[in-house]
Amino acid sequence: MLFKTRGIVFRTIKYGETSVIADIFTEDKGLHTFIAGGVRSAKARMPYNLFQPMTVVDMVSYFREDQEAINRLKELRAAELWTQIPFDIRRGAVALFMAEICRKSIQEAEENRDLFEYLFQTLQWLDTSPHPIANLHLHFLLRLSGLLGFQPQGEHDEDRELFFDLREGTFEPVPPVHGVHLEPEETQQMLALLHVEAELCHEVALDRKQRKALLQQLLRFYQLHVDGFTGVNTPEILEMIL
């Protein structure tokens, strides 16, 4: 059947001489894999730049209700044109990081409009924000964890010393015996990010060293709670430019 929807490109790999295979998170059917022919030819009807990670597209495809199927794209066009992400090295690096995290943590092949809208709105903010974006990737990891079912829960109380148990996802007054936890300073930083919207996450005071340490801990948190989640390649880039 023909299937028309919006999608967010997570990953693209070249296939054959002119084709590509893309993992696209669709608004109506969740995550699926699609193939498009002739994309890398001079007369391509679907330009290759539409397959860049975190591009939002309107798409028409031939579709089968099988998560393992590779569906053929019939039409593809930009649903949203980013004005800064492709040209700003910092914004572009954050978008690539988001794409890699999504590809390794989102597995559902079914409709999840809340997740789709969150990703779309975060990309819009990343593209248009007049504020510094150095904390946005950390905020993204925390909010995405909630949509995936394992967001930490807790109140932001600067007067109370808490440890965050990475295994259990809970805030504790004493460190857990297994030792897999955040120290109180990192816990307070995480709580501060949890309790602000993306538009205000730049107001959380973190220096480069603190951001690096918190990023490493949040990636560890994902490894503990997402089946098959492996290391990501983009943190080193973020650490250099944010």
Each of the 242 residues of the chain gets a pLDDT tens digit; together they read: 899 999 999 999 999 988 999 999 999 999 999 999 989 887 788 999 999 999 999 999 999 877 778 999 999 999 999 999 999 999 999 999 999 999 999 988 899 999 999 999 999 999 999 999 999 999 999 999 999 999 897 766 667 899 999 999 999 999 999 999 999 999 999 999 999 999 999 999 999 999 999 999 999 999 999 999 988 887 777 777 77
Instruction: Provide the Cα torsion 112, 115, 119, 124; round to 10°.
Output: 90
Q: Is residue 228 part of a domain?
A: yes
Are 74 and 95 contained in the same domain? Answer: no
Question: Which residue carries 């819009």 as its tokens?
Answer: 124
- Domain final residue, candidates 78, 103, 134: 78
- Domain final residue, candidates 28, 55, 78: 78
Q: Is residue 236 part of a domain?
A: yes
CATH code of residue 74: 2.40.50.140
Q: How many domains does the chain have?
A: 2
Are 217 and 173 contained in the same domain? Answer: yes
Alpha-carbon distances of 229 from 40, 55, 90, 101, 223, rounded to whole Å? 31, 23, 24, 9, 5
Q: Which domain holds residue 198?
A: 89-241
- 141: CB partners within 8 A, 6+ apart: 101, 215, 218, 219, 221, 222
Are 50 and 109 contained in the same domain? Answer: no
